[in-house]
Amino acid sequence: MDVNVYSRRKDRDSEEEDDLDTRTSERMKSRSFLPRYSADVLHRLQSKGKGGNTMLYMVAGIFAFGIFLTVVNIYELRKVQVDSGPGEKSDSGRRKQHVVCVWGKNQKTGYLKHVYNVFERIGYSIGTDRNVWDVLWSHDYPFKEFESQIRNLQPHQKVNHFPGTGYITNKVNLATSDIWFIPKAFKMPQDKPLLLKYSGEHPQKMWVQKSNNHRGIKIKKISDLDLSSGGTFVQEFVDKPFLIDRRKFDIGIYTTLTSIDPLRVYILDSEVLIRFCPQDYYPFDPENVDKYVVGDDYTPTWQMPSLKNIYEQNAHTHKETISTYLRQHGRNDTKLWDDIRQAIMEVYISKEPNLIGAAKSYKSTRNFFEMVRFDFVVDEDLHIYLMEVNMSPNLSSGHFSQNKLLYEQVVFNLLSLVGVARGVTNSIYQSYTDEINMQVSYKDVQVFTETCMSPKCQRSCEDMECQLCEKCLTFDMRLTLQLAYMEHVDRRNCRRVFPPPMTQTEAKSWQESKDTLYMKSLNTKNKLMHRWFRGKCIMDPSWCQ
Ligand SMILES: Nc1ncnc2c1ncn2[C@@H]1O[C@H](COP(=O)(O)OP(=O)(O)OP(=O)(O)O)[C@@H](O)[C@H]1O
């Protein structure tokens, strides 16, 4: 770090530390309405004389409880503020440089080069000690390898995976989830009778067999499939794909889960991965996988005759290149992207209960984030089909050096969204009150002013409508809203898929009593999260999307 900057920071740090108690109590004043409210009632009861005695004792009890809560809150806040991580620190206890531990097998091949590049550019030092880090970037699922570290995470430490992510990224789990945009699949060997019945009724259908670990597929007749092989599934082959220059392609969407319970999911909206099959689809030949399987030796966008000009000469992204091509051919590109967002949202909504269950044994889920890639294929009618969700999608430009830009943007946007790369380098858990407040104060998260000022919400927090009001916010929910706020302002090119974006008109006319079936299926925290974004959207349209 630049020495002058460091010494300026040091001065500021010591002033801030001296002032910690004052600021903590100021903050608590605004957070703990209970003692203020109780004192006021106490005063009024005392002035009523004898008849108020029983009430007086009750109120005194509430008052004492309020003090107890305040003390607990101050303790929690102090804990959050002074928790220090393992990285290098200044004299006043603040961090000089954050540390990332990058973990993955065979790193000498350089497949994580772009991950290192981005971390270095955002000021992280690369850790060499697996016990000393602020961020763990693990290529493999880390919950066994780093079990003791992950079980003892400090609030500011971040891990790039969620426990239980296999409910989404495990092929068998996902394919047999019975979700409308996933091709029909049967688990082997238990669903063999169902498969035989279904294939008997639909003799024209083609089938592929997949497993969690096996890569690559090949179309086979039912009679040639191994229907007794455990851990595999047989999936309907999606024929009649949408072709560009006679080639089948798939679309990869970089998707980030930032929170569960409540759920928040984003996609990188500015860019996607497009991969074409190396050979023309027709004349179709099930023996030739290069015609219908997108593999490692795929053909990139810039080699496709109809796309070259849009992508290279006119310098558009992969996403805009595909959109332009679709519009040029009278197709509705907006609907395609909307369907994709809807599909991603539905996967997370349906799997969130599993993720919550898997994370139960960890101290907090706020330490986790996860970026995956959803791969879709598209048929002639632009219907989408989800092929798989990749846990640690390829970020190596070894095969195509042109992909360096894409991968570094993917990583940078992700790290910004989750608060690892941001202007104020201390995380919300390590920051001092002024530093937190200047980024997101308790005032910034207030919504639905009139509702919150209504007698109903002034009196009680029982009604769902009142639960986002200052008086009713729990410590936990306020922190959730602060984190959601920070994600929104730091999201760069990422856009929310859940809670879903809406227009300001929709937000204003939304009637919770007429909620759609999916809204009704949401748990209370998700409903509140959804409602909060709607409230922000009503106040400022930049929050709608
Ligand atoms: N049911 C299907 N219908 C049509 N095409 C399919 C089907 N399953 C797989 N494919 C094709 O094969 C490609 C690879 O399949 P899949 O993603 O399941 O396996 P993979 O070998 O793990 O691939 P990846 O390189 O994406 O990790 C898909 O992108 C798609 O083009």
Q: Is 89 helix (H, G, I), strand (E, B) or coil?
A: strand
β-partners of residue 102 are 137
* Mutate which of 209, 272, 293 for ligand 1 pocket (most atoms within 8 A of beta carbon): 293
Atom 12 in ligand 1: residue holding the nearest Cα: 293
What whole-number distance in Å separates Cα of residue 130 and Cα of residue 294?
36
Does residue 51 have a pLDDT over 90?
Answer: no
Return mean pLDDT, the chain.
Answer: 85
Which atom of ligand 1 approaches the CA of 249 most closely? 31
For the chain, percent of residues with pLDDT exceeding 90 = 71
pTM: 0.84
Which atom of ligand 1 approaches the CA of 236 most closely? 1
- Say how many Å lie between the CA of residue 386 and the centre of ligand 1: 9
Which atom of ligand 1 approaches the CA of 239 most closely? 4
- Say how many Å lie between the CA of residue 446 and the centre of ligand 1: 45
What does DSSP assign to residue 92? T
Report yes or no: 430 and 83 within 8 Å, Cβ to Cβ. Answer: yes
Atom 10 in ligand 1: residue holding the nearest Cα: 293
β-partners of residue 137 are 102
What whole-number distance in Å separates Cα of residue 472 and Cα of residue 448?
13
Check whether the bond before 283 is cis (ω within 30° of 0): yes
pLDDT digits (tens, 9 = 90+) for 276-317: 999 999 999 999 999 999 999 999 999 999 999 999 999 999
pLDDT digits (tens, 9 = 90+) for 420-429: 997 776 777 7
What whole-number distance in Å separates Cα of residue 12 and Cα of residue 29?
24
What whole-number distance in Å separates Cα of residue 218 and Cα of residue 414?
34
First and final C-alpha spacing in the chain: 36
* Mutate which of 291, 294, 385, 399 for ligand 1 pocket (most atoms within 8 A of beta carbon): 294
Q: What value does the mean pLDDT take over residues 478-500?
A: 96
Find all residues with CB under 8 Å of 181, minimum gap 6, and list them: 339, 343, 346, 376, 383, 384, 385, 386
Which atom of ligand 1 approaches the CA of 208 most closely? 1
Atom 1 in ligand 1: residue holding the nearest Cα: 237
pLDDT band at 437 (very low <50, low <70, confident <90, very high): confident
- Say how many Å lie between the CA of residue 104 and the centre of ligand 1: 24
Q: Which residues line ligand 1 (CB under 6 A)?
A: 183, 208, 210, 215-217, 235, 237-238, 250, 292-294, 375, 377, 387-388, 390
pLDDT digits (tens, 9 = 90+) for 101-160: 999 999 999 999 999 999 999 999 999 899 999 999 999 999 999 999 999 999 999 999
Atom 25 in ligand 1: residue holding the nearest Cα: 295
What whole-number distance in Å separates Cα of residue 48 and Cα of residue 17?
45
Locate the domains of the chain by residue range.
Answer: 1-82, 99-158+393-431, 184-237
Say yes or no: ipTM exceeds 0.85. yes
Which atom of ligand 1 approaches the CA of 241 most closely? 4
pLDDT digits (tens, 9 = 90+) for 474-486: 999 999 999 999 9
* Mutate which of 182, 217, 384 for ligand 1 pocket (most atoms within 8 A of beta carbon): 217
What is the dihedral angle through the alpha carbons of 294, 298, 303, 309, rounded to the nearest 10 degrees?
50
Q: What value does the mean pLDDT take over residues 7-24?
A: 35
Closest CA to 389 of 299, 254, 494, 274: 254
Which atom of ligand 1 approaches the CA of 388 most closely? 17
- Say how many Å lie between the CA of residue 173 and the centre of ligand 1: 16
What whole-number distance in Å separates Cα of residue 502 and Cα of residue 490?
19
Check whether the bond before 278 is cis (ω within 30° of 0): no
pLDDT digits (tens, 9 = 90+) for 260-274: 999 999 999 999 999
What whole-number distance in Å separates Cα of residue 268 and Cα of residue 408?
12
Which atom of ligand 1 approaches the CA of 183 most closely? 1
Distance, CA of 319 to chain centre: 21
Where are the alpha helices (H) located in 251-366, listed in sequence order? 305-308, 318-328, 333-359
